[in-house]
Structure 1
Amino acid sequence: MKIGIVCYPTYGGSGVVATELGKSLATRGHEIHFICYAVPTKLNKFLDNIYFHEVELYQYPLFEFPIYTDALASRIIDVARFNKLDIIHVHYAIPHATSAILARTILNNKIKVITTLHGTDITLVGLEPSFTPVVRFGIEASDGVTAVSRYLRETTISTYNINREIEVIPNFVDTEIFKPGENLELRKKIAPKGEKILIHVSNFRKVKRVQDVVKVFEIVRKKIPSKLVFVGDGPERGDAENLCRQLNICDDVLFLGKQDALHEILCSADVFILPSQIESFGLSALEAMSCGLPVIATNVGGLPEVVLHGETGYLTEIGNIERMASYVIELFEDKNKYREFSEKARERAEKFFDKDLIVPKYEMFYEKILNQ
């Protein structure tokens, strides 16, 4: 198949999943065309069967803001015509679905549009009154729609009064890359005295509640010598850094910013902390589990579909700092339980979320839509 993939190229779950999906499909013989305003962060080397098409934004004094939706639609039309694409697979409903549907109309319906819903396009941005009708239209008018969790599917149907089928295809992980294997050199640099290491990975948006990670760590370090590692960047990073200064724990907290070698960093840590206010799936938690890290997270959204409470980690109520900290301490003090959780976390990632299990589901979905 010839597949166009539209996604945001930034450091975030939807862009990462879209890029990894395209790369996996290319290795399976499909011709993949990425259509974005910049090269996706994970598309950092030459790969056979993969092409990139930049969306160029026209600047004109009359337009106060660049008209991205129209520019994207025009680029989709050009790429689809010239390369004879079969499918346009858009990730994130706003504005990608609208642009793809406009392009399909201009192309006289000679291409199929598949929309994958990832989370905040439904639970946050799409709830803005100015966007809600457009999001609903994009979902209803697509030829096929998928969601990354059962939670997101049900939320979409109930919130937007959707009357069509939405197929659940979960996010996936490459278990050959994200696999257990202690990174002793990095671990020694982070924790030279053999301290335990907690880690959090996110885009540092408000819903991630990164200050809660700091508060959990402060409790843990009072009982067990520990270090805290943050990976990623975003608007809440400054507040998290200020809180570390207020608590006088800066010497034990490391902010690494955005990193490509995430699996190497995860393999240097012991426990993954994710105290989010909402998560439609929790890709970072899955990547940590695949590396054998137990996950301490909130019992929200799609996280219970990924993290099994009492088996691969623990789930708590939003904002329950003390409970999260007690779970971390419990795992650090009970080596047998920690080992059991670590093994089950890896096992669950391999058994249910490995890319070789999930990518064929997308292929079957493509075939289903093409044959309608």
Structure 2
Amino acid sequence: SLLNPRVLGTTARELMRNRYHRILARQELNSARAYDRILTNSRYSRESMLKAYGIDAGVCYLGIDAELFRPTGAERTRTVVGVGSFDRIKNIEFVIRAVALLDDLRPRLVWIGNSGEAAYQEELPVLAESLGVDYSPRLMISDAEMVEILNTACVMAYAPRLEPFGLTPLEANCCGLPVVGVAEGGVRESISHGNNGLLVDAEPAAMAGALRTFLEDPQGAAEFGRRARAWVLEHWSMPAAIDRLESFFERTARSEKT
């Protein structure tokens, strides 16, 4: 019954939450309309902004710090690495289920994150153990430690839900690491199938099959990683990103004068 105090309390909280989100949406729209030019990090983000606010934004791709993310010559192991906060939207359980399908290879799964939901972090080791996956979470590690792991893994698994862009695969590539990503959102732009990684459907079996390609052929994975790094340096360098941003500034300034 709605006269139940608990029900009334829950309903009031929901109404307040909905009102808060409506106010926030209006504020975001007003803020967006106040700018002469808005840049997004991907075509997918641009389409999302057009759908949400009716605003045409430009696309200015980001660049990678190739001096920080670089090959170190470390020996690679039969390890799958994932990077992303320990939140459900990063779809870590999907990767665990995919790795579980590689039980004959028994790769280790290392997951790096700088934050996350406490409850989700507790669930993941339980799931991994139930599926026989050697799961090693790494929370709040340094950049140097992250680069070390990216240089000792064999392949990266990347499966976030509707990621706006996906910078992490490019950082992995710069360390000479091939990437397997789910073809959703902006990941379809940061991963070019066959050039710096493989794109797969959002099915654990599809992810597992692509991971197997690299895990079963370490030499082939290493060669793919070398090509991936060269491809990223050509298309995603920091100097090129700065040039793109400066070009937008110049065009915006010129349009104001006319």
The normalised TM-score by structure 2 is: 0.81
Assess if the C-alpha contact under 8 Å between 1:208 and 1:278 holds in 2. no
In structure 2, distance between residues paired with 1:267 and 1:283: 17
Assess if the C-alpha contact under 8 Å between 1:217 and 1:228 holds in 2. yes
One of 62, 72, 93 as aligned partner of 1:211? 93
The amino acid across from 1:132 in the alignment is A
Alignment gaps of 5+ in structure 1: 1-127, 188-194
Percentage of pairs with the same residue: 27
One of 30, 33, 58 as aligned partner of 1:167? 58
Q: Where does residue 300 of structure 1 map in the other structure?
A: 184
Q: Where does residue 179 of structure 1 map in the other structure?
A: 70
Aligned positions of 1:1-372 closer than 5 A: 128-162=21-55, 164=56, 166-184=57-75, 195-220=77-102, 222-232=103-113, 233-235=115-117, 236-249=120-133, 252-260=134-142, 261=144, 262-318=146-202, 320-335=203-218, 337-371=220-254, 372=256
Q: What do residues 191-215 of structure 1 show as CA deviations (whole Å, max 9, x unaligned)?
A: xxxx501101101222111111111
3-state SS of paired residue (1:151)? helix
3-state SS of paired residue (1:177)? coil
Assess if the C-alpha contact under 8 Å between 2:96 and 2:128 holds in 1. yes
Shift of 1:327: 0.9
3-state SS of paired residue (1:342)? helix
Assess if the C-alpha contact under 8 Å between 1:178 and 1:291 holds in 2. yes
The amino acid across from 1:152 in the alignment is S
Judging changes above 3 Å, is the alpha-carbon distance between structure 1 residues 147 and 257 closer, same or farther for their aligned structure 2 residues? same
Alignment gaps of 5+ in structure 2: 1-20
Higher helix share: 2
Assess if the C-alpha contact under 8 Å between 2:201 and 2:207 holds in 1. no
Shift of 1:305: 1.0
3-state SS of paired residue (2:139)? coil
> Which sits farther off after the overlay, 234-243 or 201-210?
234-243
Judging changes above 3 Å, is the alpha-carbon distance between structure 1 residues 229 and 277 closer, same or farther for their aligned structure 2 residues? same
The normalised TM-score by structure 1 is: 0.58
Judging changes above 3 Å, is the alpha-carbon distance between structure 1 residues 328 and 180 closer, same or farther for their aligned structure 2 residues? same
Q: What do residues 247-292 of structure 1 show as CA deviations (whole Å, max 9, x unaligned)?
A: 344xx32111112222222112111111111111101111111111
Q: What do residues 329-371 of structure 1 show as CA deviations (whole Å, max 9, x unaligned)?
A: 1222234542442123212210111111102322333344445
In structure 2, distance between residues paired with 1:201 and 1:337: 23
3-state SS of paired residue (1:309)? coil
In structure 1, distance between residues paired with 2:215 and 2:153: 12
In structure 2, distance between residues paired with 1:155 and 1:255: 32
3-state SS of paired residue (2:199)? strand
In structure 1, distance between residues paired with 2:180 and 2:89: 16
Judging changes above 3 Å, is the alpha-carbon distance between structure 1 residues 137 and 304 closer, same or farther for their aligned structure 2 residues? same
The amino acid across from 2:178 in the alignment is P
**How many residue pairs align between the two structures?**
230
The amino acid across from 1:325 in the alignment is A
3-state SS of paired residue (2:162)? coil
The amino acid across from 1:205 in the alignment is D
In structure 2, distance between residues paired with 1:303 and 1:332: 22
In structure 1, distance between residues paired with 2:206 and 2:132: 22
Assess if the C-alpha contact under 8 Å between 1:171 and 1:281 holds in 2. no
Assess if the C-alpha contact under 8 Å between 1:229 and 1:255 holds in 2. yes
In structure 2, distance between residues paired with 1:230 and 1:271: 12
Assess if the C-alpha contact under 8 Å between 2:176 and 2:228 holds in 1. yes
The amino acid across from 1:230 in the alignment is W
3-state SS of paired residue (2:152)? coil
RMSD of the alignment, in Å?
Answer: 2.0
